[in-house]
Each structure stands twice: as C-alpha cells, then as structure tokens.
Structure 1
Amino acid sequence: MNESGKRHTGGCLCGAVRYEAEGEPDLCGHCYCADCRKASGSGFIPFMGFSSRAVRFTGRTQQFRSTSWRGTEAVRNSCPVCGGLVFGGEVGKDDSHTIYAGSLDDPSAFRPTVAIFTRGRPDWATIPPGLAVFETLPE
C-alpha cells in the first residue's frame, strides 16, 4: 500500500472495465476542453490524474485516439460492452493516466482543485467557486 493508504476504485457502467488507483491524485479537477466536452456530452469532464505506477486496470477497452493540444496523441478508453468512458492514456506506454471521476465507486473521493482548458468554455458550463483556473494546463 502507498504512504497515504488511499485507494480509489471504479469502472464502467457494466463492470467489465475496472481500475484501482493508490494514493492521492497528482491533479484533480474539471477539464473544459472541446474534446472532453464532446467525449462526455457535458460542459466538462471531472478528472483525477495519477502516475501510471499508481493505477491498475482490468478488462478490455475500446480506444479512441485524437490529437491533443500539444500535438501528441491522446487516448481515451471506454468499455466495449456498455460504452462507459473510464480513463485516459495508453496502458504500458504512458507515464500517467486520467481517471474520469464519474467512474469512481465512491464519488465523494473526488475533490477538484483546478479548472483547466477554460479558454473555450461555454458560458453555461460554470466553474465552481474555489478552483484555480487555467486557460490551458497549470505550469
């Protein structure tokens, strides 16, 4: 177990894709980028970022690849059975993974601190008070 003893578990709607993340997330917040809005069908995606060393995944995923704002490849993983969006990043390749907070077993574990990619945010997608706001990513 990690130093903090925290363990976050979750998965897709049907349970075919599961994860376990240990420790505190490196970054936790809302992403308002156009890709996240379209992927979620909402105004933002609530996310938790973890080192790849801290996360274990089970189950087969369907991947969608697109170009990130940096020009690199972004990978989103969904369940091929129920279609639930679960996490970002390529297992075995990326140094970190983004867990989509809506997939948490215990939603109270999500404590956002930042709002990222707010530069193109629609007016109706409000930013909760108290979050640090960044037009792109924090430096």
Structure 2
Amino acid sequence: MAQRMTGGCKCGLVRYQGIRLAVPMFRCHCRDCQQLTGSGHSDMVPLAIEGFVISDTVKTYEMPGGSGQSTFSGFCPNCGSQLTRNSQRMSDRIYVHAASLDNPSSYQPEKSIYSGSAQPWDEAAIIKEQ
C-alpha cells in the first residue's frame, strides 16, 4: 500500500504531499546539504515526483550538482524552512527534509551518503552500512 506523506514549513505558508518511494531514506553529509541546512547533514525522504504537490509559494534555488546537472532546493520564502531537494539526474523523485514532515517520527534512515564529506563534529551521525 502506498504511503502518503504530508508536510510543510514552520510558518505554514508552504505545504506538500506525495507518495513515498520504495527506496532508502537517508542522511546526506555532502557540503551542499551542510550549507543549505546550516548543520552537518540533511535527513531525506524520497517521494515520487509523479503526483507530488507543493504550494505555489515555495521558492526554488537552482545549483550545479556533483554530476554537473542541476539540482534544486525548495524552501519557504517567508520562514526559510528547507523543504525539498531534487535533481535533473534523478527526475523520477523528490526528496523532502524529514523534519518538515507532519509526522517526522516516520523517518527511519537506512544509510548515510557522502559520509566522506562529514564534518568531524558530525561523524557520530553517520549511519554505518551493515
């Protein structure tokens, strides 16, 4: 059964909803995620781009990704909450920041990516693959 997920920003201006993809939830330690979130990593939940709906008020920042293709970061123009990440390279999905979910306890990270870029003070957050 498809798992519908909903969420939004701190002030409530931007809302989204989508269907969870059957791929791992993860913690990303890349430098882009560090700078965008102001922390050591971002916690991401993959949703299908097909049927994903987000408020028109979301603001998007485009940047080059590690692959050379564009990546996009969605955030609230009012409160600044980070909400989404997606890329041209993986155009079938959009990632939402776990803390923006209405039910963030449904986030269960399965792996870390770009752990080689983790800051020394955030190494305890790396999920070791088994």
TM-score category by the smaller chain? 0.7 to 0.9
Whether the 8 Å contact between 1:12 and 1:85 is mirrored in structure 2 is yes
The SS at the match of 1:86 is strand
Q: How does 1:1-139 map to 2 (within 5 A)?
A: 3-4=1-2, 6-89=3-86, 94-128=91-125, 131-132=128-129
**Residue identity in the other structure for 1:53:** E
Stretch deviating more after TM superposition (59-68 or 17-26):
17-26
**Residue identity in the other structure for 2:117:** G
Whether the 8 Å contact between 2:45 and 2:95 is mirrored in structure 1 is yes
Whether the 8 Å contact between 1:27 and 1:50 is mirrored in structure 2 is no
Q: Distance in 2 between matches of 1:60 and 1:128?
A: 32
Q: Distance in 2 between matches of 1:51 and 1:27?
A: 13
Q: Distance in 2 between matches of 1:123 and 1:54?
A: 39
Length-normalised TM-score, structure 1: 0.81
Whether the 8 Å contact between 2:48 and 2:92 is mirrored in structure 1 is yes
Distance verdict in 2 for CA 1:30–1:129, change over 3 Å: closer
Deviations 1:48-105 (A, max 9, x none): 1122025221231111111111011010011111111111137xxx321010111011
Whether the 8 Å contact between 1:101 and 1:107 is mirrored in structure 2 is yes
**Residue identity in the other structure for 1:50:** L
CA RMSD of aligned residues (A): 2.0
Q: How many residues align?
A: 127
Q: Distance in 1 between matches of 2:69 and 2:20?
A: 27
Q: Percent identity?
A: 25
4+ runs deviating over 3 angstroms: 127-131
The SS at the match of 1:9 is strand
Stretch deviating more after TM superposition (46-55 or 101-110):
46-55
Instruction: Structure 1: give runs of 5+ residues left out of the alignment.
Output: 134-139
